[in-house]
A and B are shown apart, each in its own frame.
Chain A
Amino acid sequence: MVIDDKMIDYIGELARLRLQENERESAKNEMNKIIDYMDTLNKIDTNGIEAMSHAFPVKNVFRKDEVKPSINREDLLLNAPDKSEEAFKVPKTFD
């Protein structure tokens, strides 16, 4: 796989990033390097090795189903760029 202009635009759009011309070029280069590295990894013989789904050999970390106080609404909204008394405010959104 090669990251071309079309692909970088698509990825930018999915990530909601507006890329300038020079940023596009450097992003393209960096991503191609990552893809190249994947190709290198793909060459390794992994027959008989179990797929790893997590970096740590830890499993079943659970919490009991017990309610704890939520955070104070004023504190919650403190850093919101825009808010009403009780809610986060965002630009008009609809389906």
Chain B
Amino acid sequence: MEFLTTMGLEVHCELSTKTKIFCSCSTEFGGEPNTHVCEVCTGMPGSLPVLNEQVVEYAIRTGIATNCTITQYNKFDRKNYFYPDLPKAYQVSQLYLPICQNGHIDIEVNGVKKAIRIKEIHMEEDAGKLIHDPWEDCTLVDYNRCGVPLLEIVSEPDFESGEEVIAYLTKLKSILQYIGVSDCKMEQGSLRADVNISVRPVGQKELGTRTEMKNINSFKAIARAIEGERQRQIDVIEDGGKVVQETRRWDDTKGMSYAMRSKENAQDYRYFPEPDLVPIEISDEWIERVKNSLPELPEEKKARYISEYNLPEYDVDIITGSKYLVRIFEGALEVCGEAKEVSNWIMGEVLRLASETSTEVEDIKFSPENLGKLIVLVKKKVINRNTAKEVFEKMFSENIEPEQYIKDNGLEMVNDDGAVLAVVKSVIEANPKAVAEFKGGSAKVKGFFVGQCMKQLKGKADPATVNKIIAEELEKL
């Protein structure tokens, strides 16, 4: 039997505000347990929440950047459930009037363009962290993350393949980073995805029963989880069974999912309007102001790079896909004005070193201006390309300033043709055997001379000049 897969995504992203959504505790990652916590975010009796204005601002920004309609009158609701990571026994969220609705993100997979619809985006608070204590066989609770503002971005079930899911997440992540609302560090949990997935035989109209996989936190794990769960559902159906609607946890090391302890009433959240918070009214002026303050988005930037700089689409896709690569590109370009060169350096050395040293692009340390300077130094023939690559490795690892470094280490190219000529002459004189071979008609021995000369010049000469002088000198023999 052939099967079709249908998926929907709920993405949680932690906003990069300085403080929590309803109190002034810091949202900084990695503090000592329970040190960014107060009476509000632990739900102590008598405490009252006050909404962080920046959260609303960021939500509006996200809504506009994802083509949503902003709900100009929106409010919070309580989602009730008991779990120790939630000290109030309810999560403040938005059910009835979420701040953004009916948007879409355009993706492209294997040359096919497709719009993924966004049902809604709502504001809510993150939960705390449970740590199992194996010594005492109990659970310890750290509320530092509790109350960190989240946006939950809910898509329509528009995905038909894992590739589409990954393309959407990649695009969404780059939009969120561009507009500065989240750093989207999956390894720190600031971007997490829940995948709803169902399969149905080709020809069947109604969707199959769906399962939900929660909190998968890397793109690769998401791709594997989707494939694993799709296959599991198909196996169940082909064995004559029925897929049960449930929440499953994906174990990426074992490569399989398992059902989470079934809580029969877990879905009954008894939402009701949050009485401790007043409604939010977003004026036309506010929306207009946010719209005007949005930076150029990935799509617009891509089009501009192609038309303005005449760069290949593939390279532009990679560079504009990350706000951090864009920062390098634009910073270096401003100094050297050579778009093609900067793009080549990013696509070549920058990404090569990042991958070799397992550095995330957001953690790249060198200053983009220094890459611009390096490109200028090559263009002015102060150093040759090979030296530039060596210098760049130093820049990449230690963020050195190239001009000074080249001076300090005497890496400048020998631009004195006389000096090159002297070296060429001495090499020819020292290698009569090779000269004889050259005279005997072996052209490839030329390479030997070039190598010997570059060695004597410690690699600091323009290879083209060396080549030219060797050719001239050999001709004279």
Q: How far is the CA of A73 from the CA of B143 in the complex (A)?
A: 11
Judge whether A16 and B82 touch: CB under 8 Å: yes
B93 to chain A, nearest CB (A): 15
Q: Which of B28-55 contact A (CB under 8 A)?
A: 32-39, 42, 50-54
Whether B14 sits at the interface, judged by CB under 8 Å, is: no
Is the Cβ of B139 less than 8 Å from the Cβ of A67? Answer: no
Quick check: B33 and A91 within 8 Å, CB to CB? Answer: no
Nearest chain-B residue to A64 (Cβ)? B53
Given the complex, which residues of B lie within 8 Å of A54, measured CB to CB?
75, 273, 275, 278-279
Complex: A82 Cα to B133 Cα, angstroms: 14
| Contact assessment for B36 and A87 in the assembled complex, using a CB-CB cutoff below 8 Å | no
B113 on the A face (CB < 8 A): no
Specify which of B56, B80, B131 is in contact with A87 (CB 8 Å cutoff): B131
Q: Is the interface of A mostly helix, strand, loop or mixed?
A: loop
Q: How far is the CA of A89 from the CA of B27 in the complex (A)?
A: 22
Which of A16, A54, A82 has the largest number of chain B CB atoms within 10 A?
A54
* Chain A interface residue number, banded: 35 or more
Which A44-75 residues sit within 8 Å CB-CB of chain B?
53-56, 58-68, 70-71, 73
The CA-CA distance from A59 to B25 in the complex, in Å, is: 23
- Inter-chain CA distance A21–B280, complex, in Å, is 44
CA distance A64 to B54 in the complex (A): 7
Quick one: which of B19, B35, B50, B265 contacts A13, CB cutoff 8 A? B265
The CA-CA distance from A70 to B36 in the complex, in Å, is 6
0 or 1 for each of B247-263: is its CB under 8 Å from A? (1 = yes): 00100000000001100
Partner of B37, one of A10, A65, A70: A70
With the chains together, A55 CA to B19 CA distance in Å?
Answer: 28
Contacting residues, chain A, for B249 (C-beta < 8 A): 95
Closest-CB distance, A81 to chain B (whole angstroms): 12
A90 contact set on B, CB distance < 8 A? 84, 138-141
- B405 within 8 Å of A (CB atoms): no
Beyond A54-B279, A71-B37, A90-B84, whether A61 also contacts B51 by CB under 8 A is yes
Contact with A along B122-137 (1 / 0, CB 8 A): 0000000011110011
Please determine whether A53 and B24 come into contact, CB atoms closer than 8 angstroms: no
A13 to chain B, nearest CB (A): 6
Binary flags per residue of B225-263, CB closer than 8 Å to A gives 1, else 0: 000000000000000000000000100000000001100
New A-B contacts (20) at CB < 8 Å, excluding given A61-B51, A65-B19, A86-B142 = A16-B82, A54-B273, A56-B278, A59-B279, A60-B278, A61-B277, A62-B51, A62-B56, A63-B53, A66-B18, A66-B19, A67-B19, A70-B25, A76-B38, A84-B133, A87-B131, A89-B133, A91-B139, A94-B139, A95-B260
6 residue pairs bridging A and B, Cβ less than 8 Å apart: A61-B51, A65-B18, A67-B19, A68-B19, A84-B133, A89-B140
